[in-house]
Amino acid sequence: MGEFVNLEVEAGVGTIRLSRPPVNALNNQLQAELGDAAREAAARDDIRAVILYGGEKTFAGGADIKEMAARSYVEIAKFGAALTASVSAVAAIPKPVVAAITGYALGGGMELVLAADRRIAGDNVKLGQPEIQLGVIPGAGGTQRLARLIGPSKAKDLVFTGRWVKADEALSLGIVDEVVAPDDVYAAALKWASQFVNGPAVALAAAKAAIDGGLDVDLATGLKLEATLFAALWATEDQANGMKSFIENGPGKATFEGK
């Protein structure tokens, strides 16, 4: 349990909760605790899916600008590398990860949102990469994950202008996948995450690895990765149980142990 980031586990779902009022600004300590929470969530067998959550009021308002402004080049280079590593640790969690977005997700907060597999937002949220308005650019995945998610042209519009988008535009752009009432954000994220609690954990990890890994290589290499991960699942108990259940009882009735 950290001072600013907690990992709460209930019924197979781990919630990585940011708690640094008033806006969960990402300072040195928060980013370090975020990385620790992500690595713990990845390692724990009792966690089958993960929710990223900043609380009822806001997801994360970005980096701590006062702290950043006072840093030297050497200091900011270290901080940027550490923040990138922590956000990447979230993206690397080998389980389904959903961001439950309330209030604002800006700058580093937006970059954390982009590290999730799915994004559910309240209908009053505002998202964006406003770094250009400070004379800098996103430094923890904003130029890379956003372009991969919505395409380079749309990503450049957001990064070049630094403008914020509301929930409806974020949905149309493909930044978020679902928009709900503000009070329903966490419940909607929990509903999505909970469907994987009794699922084939190894196969889910393989599916995530195939999709994410394939995005970074050419199609032929991606297909080889997929084929390798596909064949490897024949070493799991879940594959044997799933296919046996299908043959004997039909589809959708298998029980999985995550082994």
Q: Which residues are catalytic?
A: 111, 131
Q: Among positive and negative, which fits the CA dihedral 205, 214, 98, 178?
A: negative
Measured in degrees and rounded to the nearest 5, phi and psi for residue 247 equal -65, -40
According to DSSP, residue 60 is labeled: B
The angle at the Cα of 106, spanning 104 to 109, to the nearest 5 degrees, equals 95
Q: What distance in Å separates the CA atoms of residue 116 and residue 146, rounded to the nearest whole number?
A: 12
| Residues in contact with 146: Cβ distance below 8 Å, sequence separation at least 6, in sequence order | 110, 114, 129, 138, 155, 158, 159, 175
CA distances from 105 to 63, 176, 228, 229, 245 (A): 11, 11, 37, 34, 43
Q: What distance in Å separates the CA atoms of residue 147 and residue 184, rounded to the nearest whole number?
A: 29
